[in-house]
Copies of this chain bind each other. A is one copy, B any other.
Amino acid sequence: MQSYDVLVVGAGAAGVGIGCALQELTLTPNQWLIIDRTAVGSSFRHWPCEMRLITPSFPGNDFGVIDLNAVTPHTSPALSLAAEHPSGPDYARYLCSLAEHFELPIRTDVSVTAVEPADDGFIVRTTSEPLHARLVIWAAGEFQYPRTTGFCGAEQCLLASTVSSWNHIMGTDPIIIGGYESGMDAAIHLARRGMAVRVIDAGTPWDTIDTDPSRTLSPYTQERLRALPNGALTLIGETRVERVVTVAEGYYVFTNHHPVPLFSAMAPILATGFAGSLSSPAIAPLFARRDDGYVVLTTEDESTITPGLFVVGPNVRHDDLIFCFIYKFRQRFAVVARAIGQRLGLPTDGLDWYRERGMFLDDLSCCDTTCAC
């Protein structure tokens, strides 16, 4: 059985990003490995083709403002892709070029079926041979793990994340369930095609103003919404979907607010977020959980009940801090890499410039200082 000091699971934005940070530890190629179920950046390749990164890329790195979508302090997707809002395939290309440039040791087409604590580390069961690792960094993402439960008939709906193009969706009267970024992205593309779009959400995310972009629609989306013709969208807030019933002519959506169900000839589109890869049985038991379902992590993003198991990526939360954008979770790469280096007795001073470039968030009391101006 092959044995590694560090095994990274996932070669998306989080896996490639932590990989670049780990290279600063001067690990030798046979000391560590990144594995991915399919290929580098593959989740991004499955985005609807109209979908773009909602955080804008800009090559401000050299003047202290790192490209929001960069996963290392000195690269910029804006520069390499000549794009402000890269598409999914664009962004996958950026990740591939990083993997090549930083010579990351990546093995693709390896899917993890279980992670088992063992002597001096973990046995990681995969669809091919099992691997041994002293330390495991879980960097699998969210996009391939949509949240599909919550009401009866959800399985009749169309999952937003499985749509290859909004141009393939036929009909005139879509109902979209979920009014955060992915629901609004669907709504915008369908409304631009002239459909009468309704968006239902249990809250009113379109009205929320918060200094934290994880709790409010992005400026990019707000601008696109304003550019739609008046009345193109009907926003139905503070409304919970209770069930979806299929009949011959279409779909009835029952809510807690409408005395009669809403009707659509088209399958309702489900955009209710992501359960995330940490909900997978292969890994879920190795973490303690908060009341809201998120995993409990140490200040170095290690499992509190399974030492040696770290998490990077959009699943990381600390108290009220949500790390679900690239520009947020990348702030923790060097923190985790430093912990790995210390654990393995490797020099960590190569990580200093992550801190110098403002990409090293170890003070979790940060934040909420932006004023309303």
Contacts and interface: CB of A to CB of B under 8 A. Distances in A.
- The interface residues of chain A, by DSSP majority, are classed as loop
Nearest to A367: B62
Contacts of A68: 58, 60, 65
Contacts of A219: 56-59, 78, 82-84
Interface in A114-169: none
Contacts of A58: 55-56, 68, 213, 218-219
A9 interface: no
Number of copies: 2
Contact of A328 (B57, B63, B80, B325): B63
Contacts of A371: 74-75, 101
Nearest to A94: B373
Nearest to A368: B62
Interface in A336-373: 358-359, 361, 366-373
A259 interface: no
A204 interface: no
A98 interface: yes
A373 B101 contact: yes
A280 interface: no
Interface size band for A? 35 or more
Contact of A64 (B72, B98, B331): B331
A23 to B, nearest CB: 13
Interface string A72-89: 101110111011110000
A80 B372 CA distance: 6
A287 interface: no
A32 B246 CA distance: 71
Given A62-B366, A371-B75, A82 B222 contact: yes
Contacts of A372: 79-80
Nearest to A56: B56
Contact of A59 (B57, B61, B76, B211): B211
A103 interface: no
A222 B94 CA distance: 17
B84 A361 contact: no
B64 A358 contact: yes
A76 B210 CA distance: 11
Contact of A62 (B74, B84, B369): B369
A66 interface: yes
Contacts of A61: 211, 369-370
Interface string A85-104: 10000000010011001000
A212 B60 CA distance: 8
A327 interface: yes
A213 B373 contact: no
25 contacts: A56-B56, A56-B84, A59-B212, A59-B370, A61-B370, A62-B366, A62-B368, A62-B369, A62-B370, A63-B361, A64-B361, A65-B358, A74-B369, A74-B371, A79-B370, A79-B372, A80-B372, A80-B373, A82-B209, A82-B223, A83-B223, A84-B219, A98-B373, A101-B373, A358-B358
Closest 3 CB pairs of A and B: A56-B56, A84-B219, A62-B367
